[in-house]
């Protein structure tokens, strides 16, 4: 049943092949293109328009996200295996209040487009946070500025984002004017998987349609008055690009809270960590210590104090989250009767997250989008 060429066109690679061989080549691998309550749509060939390439598989109890490679049971009643992820974009689900739950927005993404609109003032703090999440996800971040047709000169806003992007490309686009589309498409070369991420109404689906060359995804006007989006896209979906490669459109997300952190903070704030190396004391708190390189850089105007405050907030958030996750792991251990905990970044709490996906998105849109950006 498994056609290797079809799987390759879906993004299957040598690493996945090795993992599958290690499992003893069970079943027929497929890739999840969308999730509905309790069900996943699994592609087994590159053309989703061909019904022979599409399976509906129950995913109750499975920790899965759009973009995942899975081995469904033959009868489609279960997901038997979720293949190891090359990357996963995981945030803390906001609807759980104080409880730490993971929400995997998409898996096996090669390039994540952090999408901002010229329709709003550039938001450096939001981008910093997105860069941390992107680095932690394992995907390569690219900053995408949309709706360039709205401004006479895109340069000032672009430069503000470049200031905190530190070498990450910042691409100016307009879905309406067709600008920057080929630059975006180039990131899919070699059959890679791209994903859009950003607030509602920034124009993600409009760019998706421009890349697909047809109006596959619905788009809706932003609200008059405040320019906020209406959460038109309600579920992530994996879509084939006409010349190879894949694209994930995602629902707009208001707030991104950190989940498991690797070295995302260190990478997104490499400039500040470099400065810290030059503080006189190894345990410098960068407050009032003599010889503090961070304070010196702020005094000289070489480091934006808001950027440093943003870093301190993210570090505090990470520390609090790690404490929560430790507490959670302990509870989980008791529940599982001493079995080893699943790898936190992939499994913790995600069953709930999947089932509550709709609520998760709606919890986000209650409040003003981009409240942090206003
Ligand atoms: N002027 C201008 N408007 C745009 C452009 N791209 C999108 N828009 C408009 O912005 C509104 C929102 O666009 P969408 O593509 O639906 O935004 P989205 O990011 O997918 O929003 P959600 O699905 O809610 O997350 C629509 O009215 C679009 O026509 C653009 O390049 N220029
Ligand atoms: Mg959309
Ligand atoms: Zn210091």
Q: Whose CA is nearest to atom 13 of ligand 1?
A: 203
pTM of the model: 0.85
Asked if 70 and 107 touch (Cβ cutoff 8 Å), the reply is no
Superfamily of domain 86-374: P-loop containing nucleotide triphosphate hydrolases (3.40.50.300)
CATH topology of domain 4-82: SH3 type barrels. (2.30.30)
Given a cut of 50, whether residue 306 has pLDDT beyond it is yes
> In the chain, which residues fall in CATH 3.40.50.300?
86-374
Distance in angstroms (rounded) separating the CA atoms of residues 246 and 237: 10
Q: Is it the case that residue 357 has pLDDT exceeding 50?
A: no
pLDDT mean over 85-106: 75
CA of 220 to the centre of ligand 1 (A): 7
> Could you give the residue ranges of the DSSP H alpha helices within 99-221?
124-137, 155-165, 181-186, 204-212
Q: Mean of the pLDDT values across residues 288-316?
A: 95
**How do residues 318-353 score in pLDDT, each as one tens digit?**
888 888 778 777 766 554 444 444 444 333 333 333
Ligand 1 pocket by Cβ (under 6 Å)? 146-147, 149-150, 174-176, 200-206, 219-222, 229-233, 251-252
Q: Which sign, positive or negative, has the C-alpha torsion 201, 364, 268, 373?
A: positive
pLDDT in tens, 6-62: 899 999 999 999 999 999 999 999 999 999 988 999 999 989 999 999 999 998 888
Burial tier of 300 (Cβ tally within 10 Å: 0-12, 13-18, 19+):
exposed
- pLDDT tens sequence across 187-238: 999 999 999 999 989 999 999 999 999 887 888 888 776 777 778 887 889 9
Ligand nearest the Cα of residue 272 is 3
Distance between CA atoms of residues 95 and 230, nearest Å: 19
**Best of 206, 235, 237 to mutate for ligand 1, by most ligand atoms within 8 A of CB?**
206
Tokens of 164: 């905190």
Question: Tokens for 146?
Answer: 């949309």
Taking the centre of ligand 3 as the mean of its atom positions, its distance from the CA of residue 132, in whole angstroms, is 22
- Taking the CA of 282 as reference, the closest ligand is 3
The DSSP 8-state label assigned to residue 346 in this structure reads H
Cα distances (angstroms) measured from residue 297 to each of 254, 276, 305, 313: 32, 10, 9, 19
- Name the nearest CA neighbour of 259 among 151, 153, 103: 103
Ligand closest to 312 (CA) is 3
Question: In the chain, where does the domain assigned CATH 2.30.30 lie?
Answer: 4-82
Q: Ligand 1 center to residue 219 CA distance, Å? A: 6
pLDDT of residue 368: 35
Number of the ligand 1 atom closest to the C-alpha atom of 251: 25
């Amino acid at each position: 049943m498994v056609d290797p060429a079809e799987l390759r066109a879906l993004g299957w690679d040598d690493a996945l092949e090795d993992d599958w061989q290690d499992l003893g080549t069970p079943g027929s691998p497929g890739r999840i293109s969308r999730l509905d309550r309790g069900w996943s749509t699994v592609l087994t060939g590159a053309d989703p328009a061909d019904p022979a390439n599409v399976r509906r598989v129950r995913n109750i109890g499975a920790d899965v996200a759009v973009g995942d490679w899975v081995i469904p049971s033959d009868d489609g009643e279960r997901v038997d295996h979720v293949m190891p992820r090359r990357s996963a974009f995981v945030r803390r689900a906001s609807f759980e209040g104080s409880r730490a739950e993971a929400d995997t927005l998409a898996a096996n993404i090669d390039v994540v487009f952090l999408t901002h609109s010229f329709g709003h003032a550039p938001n450096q703090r939001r981008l910093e946070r997105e860069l941390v999440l992107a680095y932690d996800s394992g995907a390569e971040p690219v900053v995408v500025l949309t709706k360039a047709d709205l401004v006479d000169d895109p340069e000032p806003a672009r430069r503000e984002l470049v200031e905190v992007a530190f070498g990450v490309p910042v691409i100016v686009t307009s879905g309406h004017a067709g600008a920057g589309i080929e630059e975006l498409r180039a990131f899919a070369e070699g059959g890679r998987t791209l994903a859009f991420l950003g607030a509602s109404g920034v124009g993600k689906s409009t760019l998706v349609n421009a890349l697909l060359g047809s109006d596959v995804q619905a788009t809706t006007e932003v609200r008059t008055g405040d320019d906020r989006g209406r959460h038109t896209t309600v579920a992530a979906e994996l879509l084939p690009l006409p010349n190879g490669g894949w694209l994930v459109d995602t629902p707009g997300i208001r707030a991104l809270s950190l989940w498991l952190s690797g070295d995302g903070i260190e990478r997104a704030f490499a400039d500040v960590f470099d400065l810290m190396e030059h503080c006189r004391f190894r345990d410098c708190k960068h407050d009032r210590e003599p010889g503090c390189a961070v304070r010196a850089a702020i005094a000289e105007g070489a480091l934006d104090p808001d950027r440093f405050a943003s870093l301190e907030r993210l570090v505090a958030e990470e520390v609090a989250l790690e404490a929560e996750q430790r507490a959670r792991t302990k509870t989980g251990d008791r529940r599982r009767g001493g079995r080893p905990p699943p790898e936190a970044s992939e499994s913790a709490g995600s069953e709930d997250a999947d089932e509550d996906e709709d609520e998760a998105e709606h919890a986000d849109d209650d409040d003003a989008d981009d409240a942090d950006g206003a």
